[in-house]
Structure formats: C-alpha cells, structure tokens
Structure 1
Amino acid sequence: MPANNQVPVFVSSDAARTVFRWKDAIAALQQAYGLPIPAKATPPRTVAILEKTWLRTLPAIPPGGRYFGAKLMGSNMGDAPPGIEYVIVLFDRTTNHIAAFVDGNLVTGFRTAATSAAALDRLAPQGPARLAVLGSGLEASMHTRAFASVRQLSQVTVFSPTPERREAFAAAVTQDLGIPATGVASAREAVEGADIVLTAARSRGEEPILFGDWLKPGATVVSIGSTIPEQREIDVSVVERSDLIICDTLEEVLTETGDMIAARAAGIEFHHKAFSLADLMSGACNEQMASAKAPMFKSVGGGLQDIVVAELILTKALEAGLAIPLPMNFETKR
C-alpha cells in the first residue's frame, strides 16, 4: 500500500467498476457533506483555455478524509482525435506522498449519480415512486441505478429522441433491476404522473426539455445537464415552481448555469429558496425542508465528490488487490 512503501498505484475503470457499490458511495457523500466544509477546502473549478485546447481542474480536501487531490480533464478540440481523458490524483495525508492515479471517466459518472441520490434520499418522500428519465446515456443509466438503491422504484418511464436508444434503456432497466420500464415518444408523456423526474439530456439546440406545468404536485426534480452558461435543460417555469432548490455547489449553480441565468433574466427570484447540499446534509435547512412541496436538486459537479468517491474506490481496490503498483518514485522536497 502507498502508506507503507510510498509506491503510487493506478486504479483503472475496470477495477473501479468491480469494487464500486452505490450504497457505500451515497453514504460516504452524505457523511462528507454533513461535516463543516471550509470554503478554501473546496475551491471553485478552474478552466485554462487556449484557442481550442482546454484543461479543467477540480481540487478538494474533504474534511475527515485520508486522501486529498484533484481531478484533471482536458482536450484539444482542434486537429487532435476527438476525446477527453480524466485522471484523479490522490495525495495521502498520513504520508505526504502521491498515493494514486485513478481513471476518472467512470468515477465521474459514479460520483454524479451518487451525489444526486444522496440528495434525493433526503428530498423525496419515502415509499414506492415512479421515475421519469429524460435521456438514455451513461448519466441517465447510472442515475436510475443510484436512485433504485435509495428508493423503491415501481416504474421507470424514459424518453430519448431515438426510439432504439430509449427501448434499449428500458429493456436494460427491467433486466438489470427488475423494474418495469417503458420508452415513450415525448418528454411530456414520460413526466406525466411521475414522482421523481431526472433530466439528464440537454436538447441539441440548448432548448429546455422540462416544463413546470408537466409536473404533478409533490414531484421531486433532479437536474444535472446544465453546468455552464451556454447549456440549457429545464425551463424557467421549473425554477419558478420549485420552492426548495438544493445545489451541490451553490454559487456555481446559481450564477454559472444556463438554466438559472435564464430564470434570472426572466425576473424569477430564487436565491431565497436556494441552499447548498451541505445545508441539506447538516440540517441547516430543515425548516425549509419541512414545508417544501416542490423540491429540486441541481448539480454542476465538484471536486469534493470526485475525491470522496475516488478514496472509496482506491481503498476497496487496494483491499481487493486490484490497484496496480507503478514503477516510479517522486522526489520529496524537504
């Protein structure tokens, strides 16, 4: 282990997939967000850009964790082959050494869905629930599985513009989770009568895909697809309808996502009903929770989520012998 011989390890996506468990990740995130989190421990993401090349960095030092570090992702969107690679670098607080490099692609999907489920577990009423899913990609698939670990899903209805994709999604949910699932021809049809609504697929034209008057009273909304000013996912009517808005990274959600920028431009006031995920987990907004009839969780992702889930995966991969020791040593500056 890195703590003993100082040799860093690599954790592949295959290893992460083998050791990952939804309930463990959700519990770890609920615990992490329930602790006091100094602002300097989770600074905002940074993005370096030169022409068509970009590099994004998400650093964090989770309170109470053994590891700290950052996720890096980057791409040249010009002449290079298309694609983005992610790496999470973990430092060990007990040794001051670089402990691991974790392939961040699958971890990103895991942490996003687990964070949403951690919030949903506090926001949605207990008992069986009908889930509407707008989208049929990796995030939609992971979120459905994460939600199924915290709520009994009685039915899943999915809309995706491509009939083959939504039918394949529904078939996989039924086969893997044993939950009746169907694909439908419109977003509105999917949402009708749903207790929980997940939006995980922005439209190609960056037009809203969910509207407030589609939602039944008491429905909980989870929105994950609008993370930068240029992106749209939910209509301003959804923001207006929501009487409690939980944000994983409060200021980034409220000021840097296209959905909230559009709501502000439409004259909708939402700051008074917006709280952080830490507020939700610590109980700081219990009074608002008690009276909320139309809660929403909105996410942009954050380094804290990456590091908490990566630590969990690293620990389990080491225990299972699935972490690969790397033939390298870093020089320590004294």
Structure 2
Amino acid sequence: MNPSDVNPSVSAAADAPLFVSSETAAAVFQWLPAVRALQESYARPLGPHAIPRRTIAAGAAERASLRTMTAVPPGSRYYGAKLMGMAFGPSGRQLEYVVVLFDATTGSLAAIVDGNLVTAYRTAATSAAALDRLAPQGAARLAVLGSGLEARMHTLAIASVRELHEIRVYSPTPTKRAEFADAMGAELGVRVHAVDSPAEAVGGADIVLAAARSYGEKPILHGAWLEPHATVISIGSTLPDQREVDSTVVARASLIVCDNVEEVLEESGDMLAARQDGVGLDAKCISLNDLMSGKSSRRRDEGAVAMYKSVGSGLQDVVVAGMILDLARAAGLAAPLPIRFETKRIG
C-alpha cells in the first residue's frame, strides 16, 4: 500500500536521488566554471540566514566529532549541507566527507556527493575567485608554501585565472617539494623550482599561497618576506588552535577579504593572535560577498599587500557539488540510488 493512500500529506518522491563518487567528480570537474559559479553566487544578495555558522558536535568518550556546514545559495538550483565525520578507531583517525544536495524547486533530495575531493576543489576555486578580484592582471610569480593536496589544487586553480611565469615551492620534506615541482611543472608547462626555505619561495612573489600549517602550530609566513604588492592566500588556520601566518602578515595587509568575516575573526588562530598582538582588524576586513557584489567601498591600497583568509563555507560546498552533479548527470556518470524518500506535504 502506498503511504499517500493512507495519509494525503505524504507521497513518494518522483525520482531517485543520485550518488556521485570522488572518481566521477575528478572526471567531470572543471576549474574555471567552478570559479565563475562561485563568483556569481557570492555576487548575489545573501540573506542573514543563507550561510549559517558551522557547527561542531563532539563526544569526548567516543572520540568522535561531526562538523556541519549548511547553505541555501541564492539563485541556485540546489541547497544542502556538508557533513564531516571524524573518529579515532583501531587504525587511527579517520575522516569522511559527504555533501547532501536538495533540489530547491521540489524540496526533494537530489544527490549524495562524496565530499573528499569537493572540499579541495571548492577551497581552491573560492581562493582563485577571490584572487581574480584582488590581484592585478598580468603574468605573475607564485610562491607555494606546502606540497599536499590543497597546495596542488590551489596551484591549478590559480593557474586558471592568472598566467604564471614561475612557481617556487617550499615544504619541510625535500622529496615532497621536489615531487610537487616536477608534477606541477609538467601539468602547467611552467618553471617550478623547489627551494630550501619559505623566505626564498616568497621573496619576489606576486602571489603567495600559504597552504600548510607548520609542526607545533607556528607561523610559516612572515610579513617581512612579502613584496609590497603581494597578494596572500591563507587557508590553513581555520580553528582557534591553528596557526599559519604571522601577525606581521596581517598587519601589512591593507585589505583582508574573508569568506565569512565573523568566523575568520573569531575562530581562526591567526586572526586571534593578530588581535592579541594589537593589530587592528575590523577596519580592513570585508566579506567575500561584499567584494564580489561591490557593496563595500574598501579597496586595497595601491602598492600594498592584500590577503584572502578562508575558513570554508557551506555555500562553497553546495555550489561546487551542484556543478559537479550537473556535469556528472550530463555525462551519464551519476549513479541512481535504489532508494526512495517519502515527501511530506504541508499546507
């Protein structure tokens, strides 16, 4: 018997939700469309409840935590949430990410997307979206601090919006930075040099990417190394106990663009330390929405450092996962799930 025959307020969803794996996401993802989609989303008016603050639930005895990031992007076909589950098991700490997308036109569950690559894609694409509005046009020299997944993704994303004539990379492990240099040089056709210190990487750079918190949570980037016109992207310090850039970097920046101003100022260890060190923050920080929409009159001073500081946002997850879902569906790579959800009708 159909539940709707008993209760007219309940009916079966018409279409089965889809599943998009990380393998499928990698097969269909495109950098520039993702950057443009994020720029368009952040340029639209955002209501006060469109991107709530992230929440973290933790159980001490269970050694488990769940982070949730929700969003209803304006003008988007999809809304939803990213869930990040973490637990300590017999084999050590384990993380899994999932993005759950609902169809804004029907309210039905549209898809479940493996969020592992989505997280790296959306972080890098959002940084490139901000950089595209902050940094001068023209060929640039890029400094990369870090050689992991986020460093690689950001380098590719930045290359989609700026011509790069040279890249210098530093990370603590010589073999990893050499591998990064070889891989990025081959993929981008750009001169990539692995160097022996972060100062050597940053000196003379037009764009500086900080994508690796140091051991012991000590800053890996200092203001004295920066060129006067440098644009800094900092993504590694997202919680109060995490450090990536020194307070002198924050002090040198004439403009700081934050994906979420409140969360950056109140939850990023870098900004908390800068405020404690006497750096005035409120007058130089604007939101990514203000930058993209042109609502703010604040601009970077000519010939002065500017910075994009990210802690991540559910809007980024939903927009990028939604783009991947549409591409996967068009390519016939989204797998229908053998499930149905009942939809409750109200009113």
Judge same fold: TM > 0.5, yes or no.
yes
Bigger radius of gyration among the two: 2
Amino acid of the structure 1 residue aligned with 2:204: G
Compare 76-85 and 137-146 and name the one that shifted more.
76-85
Aligned-residue sequence identity (percent) comes to 59
Amino acid of the structure 2 residue aligned with 1:115: T
Determine if the alignment matches structure 1 residue 28 to structure 2 residue 37. Answer: yes
**How many Å separate the matches in 1 of 2:198 and 2:154?**
17
TM-score (normalizing by structure 1): 0.97
Q: Does the 8 A contact of 2:24 with 2:334 survive in 1?
A: yes
**Of 76, 86, 95, the match for 2:97:** 86
Q: Deviations over 1:153-198 (max 9, x none)?
A: 0000000110000000000111001010010110001101000000
Determine if the alignment matches structure 1 residue 112 to structure 2 residue 123. Answer: yes
3-state DSSP of counterpart to 1:14:
helix
Determine if the alignment matches structure 1 residue 185 to structure 2 residue 184. Answer: no
Amino acid of the structure 2 residue aligned with 1:82: R
Instruction: Specify whether residues 280 and 142 from structure 1 end up closer, same or farther in structure 2 by C-alpha distance, changes over 3 A only.
Output: same
**How many Å separate the matches in 2 of 1:81 and 1:198?**
30
1:1-334 aligned within 5 A: 5-51=14-60, 52-77=63-88, 79=90, 81-289=92-300, 291=302, 293-334=304-345
Unaligned runs of 5+ in 1: none
Tell me how far 1:71 sits from its aligned partner: 0.4
Q: Does the 8 A contact of 2:142 with 2:206 survive in 1?
A: yes
Tell me how far 1:5 sits from its aligned partner: 4.1
Tell me how far 1:294 sits from its aligned partner: 1.1
**How many Å separate the matches in 2 of 1:264 and 1:94?**
44
Compare 253-262 and 277-286 and name the one that shifted more.
277-286
Tell me how far 1:289 sits from its aligned partner: 3.8
Q: Deviations over 1:15-60 (max 9, x none)?
A: 1111111000000000000000112011000000111210000000
The structure in which a higher percent of residues are helix is 1
Q: Does the 8 A contact of 2:254 with 2:300 survive in 1?
A: no
Tell me how far 1:80 sits from its aligned partner: 6.0
Q: Does the 8 A contact of 1:243 with 1:292 survive in 2?
A: no
Number of aligned residue pairs: 331
**How many Å separate the matches in 1 of 2:335 and 2:164?**
38
Amino acid of the structure 2 residue aligned with 1:312: M
Q: Does the 8 A contact of 1:53 with 1:78 survive in 2?
A: no
Q: Alpha carbon RMSD of aligned pairs, Å?
A: 1.2
3-state DSSP of counterpart to 2:283:
helix
3-state DSSP of counterpart to 2:342:
coil
Amino acid of the structure 1 residue aligned with 2:17: P
Unaligned runs of 5+ in 2: 1-12
TM-score (normalizing by structure 2): 0.93
Q: Does the 8 A contact of 1:69 with 1:89 survive in 2?
A: yes
Q: Deviations over 1:129-165 (max 9, x none)?
A: 0000000000000000000000000000000110000
Q: Does the 8 A contact of 1:8 with 1:98 survive in 2?
A: yes
Q: Does the 8 A contact of 2:228 with 2:303 survive in 1?
A: no
Q: Deviations over 1:90-113 (max 9, x none)?
A: 111122211100000000000000
